[in-house]
Amino acid sequence: MSKLKVLVTRRWPEACELRLRELFDLSINADDHPMSKDELRAALRDYDAVLPTVTDALDAEVLSVEPMRCRILGNFGVGFNHIDLEAARNRGLTVTNTPDVLTDCTADIAMLLMLAVARRGGEGEREVRAGKWIGWRPNHLVGTKVTGKTLGLIGFGRIARAMAKKAHFGFDMPIIFFDPYPPAQEVIDAFGATRCGTIEEVLERADFVALHCPGSKENRHLINAERLARMRPNAYLINTARGDVVDNQALIDALRTRQIRGAGLDVFEGEPRLNPGFLELDNAVLFPHLGSATEETRIAMGMRVIDNLTAFFDGRTPGDKVI
């Protein structure tokens, strides 16, 4: 019996690719380029399963392809706002993602961004590499203390709670949050957290605001010029969620005018096409979407997709089924 045909849209860790080859008739995007709409449409016509990532825009146009051979989109990543779920549902597609396994590493990156921007680590590293450091002096690159400051979380899901644990128990930070669908009170109490009634309340009270809300049409530009104006002038914004949750131009303006003190960003609107305004700012730490970028996590993500695929083709419900 011939194996089911599977396409991986970007290169995966070697261990995951080897496992896929054992189970399926595998094709890989060997040169790791972002696939075009035409390439994605061809994949949906020719393969039983397509395994996309955040770089693959599977919109209604792409998903309208005829004929449709693909039966499942096994997404490599927890976020799925690059997939038009309504269009996928209308085509009878199953969509899965990879929650849980990237929680701690993404929270680690959020902590790293917070520490780096508060203590001006990016500026210092650039100064040393440029040969411009002239030695220690009392007023050199003075930043902000993190320990004991208030951390405000927009969203209180898995990654937010992992960050809260590290910040509260590691840095004695009081935790406040807004989430329209909060967890049980005992979960909130475990972090000594305080629930706020609105996003604005978090913005007004927090020294550091970290975004952990999903990317969606509803959350596009959730943090806009008006909401940035509600933040304290000495506050910092941290984003490891999705780039379009923030109005990037409004954030650049707020940073340029020192309306807020700084930002630590791992995601951007339209990435990897970066708004050049960010590059002119010394009060922004910019990472190239590193949230889950550890060997352990990326392998775990790939294996999670494989588990979802094998369950689906065995006639079972995948553990991480989105639709």
Enzyme catalytic residues: 242, 271, 289
Instruction: Give the ranges where the chain is alpha helix by DSSP (H).
Output: 14-23, 37-46, 60-63, 85-90, 103-118, 121-129, 158-171, 185-190, 199-205, 225-228, 248-256, 295-313
Alpha carbon distance 57, 20 (integer Å): 23
CB 261 within 8 A of CB 283: yes
Q: What is the rounded radius of gyration, in angstroms, for the C-alpha atoms of the chain?
A: 21
Helix (H/G/I), strand (E/B), else coil: 7: strand
Burial 93-128 (b: 16+ CB within 10 A, else e): bbbbbbbebbbbbbbbbbbbbbbbbbbbbbbeeeee
CB 216 within 8 A of CB 241: no
Give me the torsion for CA of 139, 166, 210, 183, rounded to 10°: -160
Residues with Cβ < 8 Å from 135, sequence gap 6 or more? Answer: none
What are the percentages of helix, strand and coil residues in the chain, rounded to 5?
40, 15, 45
Q: How far is CA 228 from CA 30, 54, 262, 280, in A?
A: 42, 26, 12, 19
- Cα distance from N-terminal residue to C-terminal residue, the chain: 29
Task: Count Cα neighbours of 58 within 13 Å in the Cβ-side half-sphere.
Answer: 32
